[in-house]
Amino acid sequence: MKPFTTSASTPASSRPPRTGLEARLTARPDGFPTPDHFEIVTTTVPDPAPGQVLVRNLFMSLDPGMLLLMSGGSRLPMPAYEVGEVMYGDAVGEVVASGDPALGVGDLVVHRLGWREYAVAGVDAFRRVDASAYPSPSMHLGFGLVAYVGLMEVARLRPGDTVFVSSAAGATGSLAGQIARLKGAARVICSAGSPEKAAHLTGALGFDAAFDYHDGPVLDRLRAAAPDGIDVYFDNVGGEQLRAAIEVMNVHGRVAVCGALNRQRTGRPDDGPGDLLSVVGKRLTIRGFTLFDHLDRAAEFGEQFRGWLREGSVVYDETVVEGLASAPQALLDLVGGRYTGRTVVRLTGAPVSTPVA
């Protein structure tokens, strides 16, 4: 049996208590939240009991779906945040004390206990990952697998397809468009929230066409960008963009519904896909999905993704926000369209430099 270990230089009983910050939900928002709905508090961090480990979080992920968890009315397959309790989310960190032989001090792990600087839980709550797999530990929090299964498993992407990706400057959309190109799409069309982001999509990311969805009716912009129709729509938004995609889709088109940014930005239920006669007449497939149903594709995707990074075939956009205290406003800014690519928060002890391929 591996003995209990700790990263402290003195026994746990003789050193001062370890403290760390955590974020709690103060009240359920009615509509779009404000920073007042979050509270950052200092807590005492317990040493791990037998069967537990203590992890110092290096990076935590910000995800627009967190707003739905704050409202309490989410239909996502995960529990809502509880008022007065610490929030949760994806994070990557380093084991600093262990009470279980399955994980040792120094191991890099991913888990769902974000929104705090330190996490203590049973060893089963953590998954060891390869610290050398990526240039930065934060890349273990990427949404590439979501993009991959949405395209390949849900939308059944085929070589020669014309693909439309909404919110394509974000964490999932930016990779979905690039993966579509790598997998043989004939044309990749994208929407974004500003002219600068649209230019980034056709420039640095190499998409065939991109438009600012604020610049006139989406249906008109999409028809102009895809005069021969679209075969696959990777939907991160819903609302007007979903309705436009249905109208422009070719017969037997496929829609992978990944997100609902339109609802998250407004705080109100979406208007839905509109007139379903087009869905019937074109024999379209519209399928929602979550990553939890497709974790069996992780190894397959990881091998390909690391190869694409080595080859320089993929651009990985990442925005790094400093410190847990900055996370609430950063989440609101993320949903408001301020950032490009994946947005993560750098926490205690994380490397200052985070190079990405």
In the chain (357 residues long), the average pLDDT of successive 10-residue segments reads 36 67 95 93 95 97 90 76 96 96 96 97 96 94 94 97 96 96 97 94 96 94 97 94 96 92 63 81 94 87 94 94 96 91 87 46
Query: What pLDDT does residue 291 have?
Result: 82
Task: Return contacts of 336-342, CB within 8 angstroms, 24+ apart.
Answer: 336/265, 337/193, 337/194, 339/170, 340/169, 340/170, 340/174, 340/197, 340/200, 341/169, 341/170, 341/171, 341/174, 341/316, 341/317, 342/61, 342/138, 342/141, 342/142, 342/143, 342/171, 342/316, 342/317, 342/318
CB atoms near residue 276 (< 10 Å): 12
Residue with tokens 């989310």: 89
Classify domain 5-132+317-346 by CATH architecture.
Answer: Alpha-Beta Complex (3.90)
Whole-angstrom distance, CA of residue 282 vs CA of residue 115: 44
Whole-angstrom distance, CA of residue 11 vs CA of residue 5: 10
Query: What pLDDT does residue 3 have?
Result: 31
Query: What pLDDT does residue 352 have?
Result: 53
Query: What pLDDT does residue 267 have?
Result: 57
**Alpha-carbon torsion, ordered 292, 170, 236, 324, to 10 deg:** 60
Whole-angstrom distance, CA of residue 277 vs CA of residue 244: 14
To which CATH superfamily is domain 144-293 assigned?
A: NAD(P)-binding Rossmann-like Domain (3.40.50.720)
Query: What pLDDT does residue 285 have?
Result: 96
Query: What residue ranges do the domains of the chain occupy?
Result: 5-132+317-346, 144-293
- pTM for the structure as a whole: 0.86
DSSP 105-135: TT-EEEESB-SBSEEEEEGGG-EE--TTSSS
Where is 96: in which H helix or E strand? strand 91-98
